[in-house]
Chain A
Amino acid sequence: MKISRMHIVTQAVLLITGLAMLFPFFWMIATSFKTGREVFSLSLIPQNPTMENYQELFTNSNFPLWFLNSVLCGFIVTLSTLFFDSLVGYTFAKYRFRGKKLIFILILSTMMIPTEMLVIPWFIMSNDLGWANTYWGIIFPGMMSGFGTFLMRQFFDSVPNDLIDAGRIDGLNEFDIWRRICMPLVKPALSALAIFTFVGNWNAFLWPLIVINDIYKYTLPVGLSFFNGEFQTEWEMVMTGASVATIPVLIIYLIFQKQIIKGIALTGIKG
């Protein structure tokens, strides 16, 4: 009896905090249904709800293209990161070779340099290689990450060596051992890495801005900044764009969320 009362109180408190937490989010969505003049009014519910912003967004701007570009780049970067980071993480967790410690520390240290400092050399490089103003140009700097490598190494650490040796006895080559035996065991970790990578890439702004020249090749964050004009910002459009932009990330989250919980618990993360 006592427990269930506690339970009700907890539920109530969580519900209220949750709604409060979501208030700015609701506001964003509400604004997307407001007209330009009503944007600054105080009411959460628009007086004259309108779909105009959505129509404008999908018909009168390059938004559908920006959206598609972001999804494509997001997918490729995420896939590539999952593949390489898990391969590299696995190598550091399960092999002994010369220079291991040094290479690992060097890769880790790449987490600590702000992107802002790297974009100019990347851009010079892209121009030399003919990658400027291409999708490949947007994608290539994010193909691998120190964060993912670190995360995956932690996970592979907990995979028992016996399994690997068993694979070797069965005559599998090293690549197949990684792919067929070890990878399935860290699926939860891959899910976690997938969502972190996708979210991070989804919000990237500076690099796509610099590497792309054609308005129809931009990704979402850069595209949305077109509504932020010289003399005024079309807030209703920014909010509409941001609301739509939340959907893919939410889908990714919903697909992977259960795995994430399992994933992170499985590591027993080592300090």
Chain B
Amino acid sequence: MKKERRILVMLLVLLGMCLSLFAGGKGEEETVDDGVTEIVYWQYFYETKKNLIDELIKEFEAANPDIRVIHQTFPYENYNTKVASSVPTGEGPNVINLYYGWLPMYMDAGYLQPLPEDAFPPEEIEAEYFPLVEAGKFDGKYYALPTAVRSLALFYNKDLFREAGLDPDSPPETMEEALEMAKKLTKTDKAGNYLQEGWGLQLNGQIHHWLREILVRQFGGQPYSDDGRTVTYNSQAGYDALKYATDFQLVHHVGMPNFMTDDVTAFKAGTLAMNIDGSFRLGTLDEIEELDYGVADIPTLNGVASNFASYWANGITSTTTGKELEASVKFLQFLLSDDVQARWLEAIGELPAKKDIALRPEFVNDPKYGPFIRGLENAHATMFVDETGQRQVWLDAWDQVVLNGMSVEDALNQAAETEQAILDRYYEGK
């Protein structure tokens, strides 16, 4: 009986603590009108990004003492879920960071407002930025702009090159060379299990982009119609591309998806020799001192160079008005400023979205950033309407060929059909 009473008392104390916390929480929400405009900025949690933005906000607030920016971050995996769920309530941030592939959906919903043209003149944007920012342009107006963009390049492990008797300073320039090297760089045990992969095939990493936007074009095709509404990779070029890539696993045995759980882990552990990946990976890899790696342009095939680019863009939500809107515009201008773009590259590893900053000699000639910046020139940004779903169709096509033994034609036709249905549902009635 005594013991139970003690437990009960403990519970009551906890309850009391909790109630006082409620009180605390409510007290905080009361805002004092001291002439300071408060705006809320949302992005996903990525440590260096969060730290840089926190730092930038301090500077911004020092320059604009009448504005306070509240910075909230969310787990990356569930960021889109979180943002979308906040929409029906009409509550949420003033300035928001969104993946370019999500923009069409949020546009449809009227979630964003057009960026005021006096603060962000369209002619200037078109002259200064890389053309891929047009993914944020709807009906002739810009709704969201990036501070930085990303492209792909070839990462290769120099130590493994040396070990295989290859020159660590001459990475492959063409796919033919790459394949020959990959064969030399692959190690298996007696039973044929991989001990080391020559070529990374992480479909749900960047390899589905490599297939879609790079290989299909290198075989002379185009993945989508110009307006992005029709799938066109179900063509000979598409079949060739899928055949070419799946042969790496099935015929040449230089790699497989999910080796060592994923490509990044394998590359970090020094068991993957060459991998196509984004500039954002530089930071992660540089943390590992034992890893001696290089970055090179994406190998060409049939004489064609292509690349895939993407970005996270900042926009202003449509519920933002009055003073908050003024403050948000100022903050956004600050985030897009030349200075911030240059600092972003060094702190995060993402490339400046403005051409003349990115093409500064110190960036273009940088051994690690150079290949990415050069890649931007022939980069394409897929016009996603349902990024997850559209990625999945390529994963499934691959699995159909590799696991189910389906022909590349059938697998890709099936993928095209599924993806076309996704596009149709989205564009229906537009």
Give A residues with C-beta under 8 Å from B. 37, 40, 72, 75-76, 79, 119-120, 123-124, 127, 132, 134-136, 209-210, 213-215, 217, 222, 225-226, 228-232
For B, the interface residue count at a CB cutoff of 8 angstroms equals 38
Do residues A136 and B22 form an inter-chain contact, with CB atoms below 8 A?
Answer: yes
- When C-beta atoms are compared, the residue in chain A nearest to B42 turns out to be A213
Q: Given A209-B75, A226-B45, A232–B284 Cβ distance below 8 Å? A: yes
Q: Given A40-B269, A135-B21, A225-B78, A230–B46 Cβ distance below 8 Å? A: yes
Do residues A132 and B91 form an inter-chain contact, with CB atoms below 8 A?
Answer: yes
Do residues B82 and A230 form an inter-chain contact, with CB atoms below 8 A?
Answer: no
B17 part of interface (Cβ distance < 8 Å): yes
A232 CA / B260 CA spacing, docked (Å) = 13
Q: Given A40-B261, A230-B280, A119–B85 Cβ distance below 8 Å? A: yes
Do residues B17 and A124 form an inter-chain contact, with CB atoms below 8 A?
Answer: no
Q: Given A40-B261, A135-B18, A229-B46, A215–B72 Cβ distance below 8 Å? A: yes
B14 part of interface (Cβ distance < 8 Å): yes
A114 CA / B86 CA spacing, docked (Å) = 20
Do residues B21 and A229 form an inter-chain contact, with CB atoms below 8 A?
Answer: no
Q: A75-B18, A213-B72 given. 5 additional CB < 8 A pairs?
A: A79-B15, A135-B22, A136-B22, A209-B74, A225-B75
Residues of A within 8 A of B365 (CB): none
Find the residue from B15, B91, B288 having the highest chain A CB count within 10 A. B91
Do residues B22 and A229 form an inter-chain contact, with CB atoms below 8 A?
Answer: no
- When C-beta atoms are compared, the residue in chain A nearest to B90 turns out to be A127
B85 in complex: contacting residue of A72, A123, A136, CB < 8 Å: A123
A222 CA / B75 CA spacing, docked (Å) = 8
A134 in complex: contacting residue of B22, B78, B86, CB < 8 Å: B22
Residues of B within 8 A of A225 (CB): 75, 77-78
A225 CA / B73 CA spacing, docked (Å) = 12
Do residues B17 and A72 form an inter-chain contact, with CB atoms below 8 A?
Answer: yes
Give B residues with C-beta under 8 Å from A. 11, 14-15, 17-18, 21-22, 25-26, 44-47, 72-78, 81-82, 85-86, 88-91, 260-261, 264-265, 268-269, 280-281, 284, 288
Do residues A230 and B18 form an inter-chain contact, with CB atoms below 8 A?
Answer: no
A232 CA / B47 CA spacing, docked (Å) = 12
Do residues A209 and B78 form an inter-chain contact, with CB atoms below 8 A?
Answer: yes
A232 CA / B76 CA spacing, docked (Å) = 11
A184 CA / B288 CA spacing, docked (Å) = 60
Q: Given A124-B89, A209-B82, A230–B76 Cβ distance below 8 Å? A: yes
Residues of A within 8 A of B268 (CB): 37
- When C-beta atoms are compared, the residue in chain B nearest to A128 turns out to be B89
Do residues A76 and B76 form an inter-chain contact, with CB atoms below 8 A?
Answer: no
Do residues B284 and A231 form an inter-chain contact, with CB atoms below 8 A?
Answer: yes
Residues of B within 8 A of A132 (CB): 89, 91
Q: Given A72-B14, A213-B72, A225-B77, A40–B260 Cβ distance below 8 Å? A: yes
Residues of A within 8 A of B15 (CB): 75-76, 79
A sample of 25 inter-chain contacts (CB < 8 A) reads: A40-B260, A40-B261, A40-B269, A72-B14, A72-B21, A75-B11, A76-B15, A79-B15, A120-B88, A123-B85, A123-B86, A123-B89, A124-B88, A127-B91, A132-B91, A134-B22, A135-B21, A136-B22, A210-B82, A214-B72, A215-B73, A217-B25, A228-B76, A228-B77, A230-B46
Residues of B within 8 A of A123 (CB): 85-86, 88-89
- When C-beta atoms are compared, the residue in chain A nearest to B89 turns out to be A127
A226 CA / B269 CA spacing, docked (Å) = 23
Distance in Å: Cβ of A123 to nearest Cβ of chain B:
6
Distance in Å: Cβ of B269 to nearest Cβ of chain A:
6
Distance in Å: Cβ of B24 to nearest Cβ of chain A:
10
- When C-beta atoms are compared, the residue in chain B nearest to A223 turns out to be B75
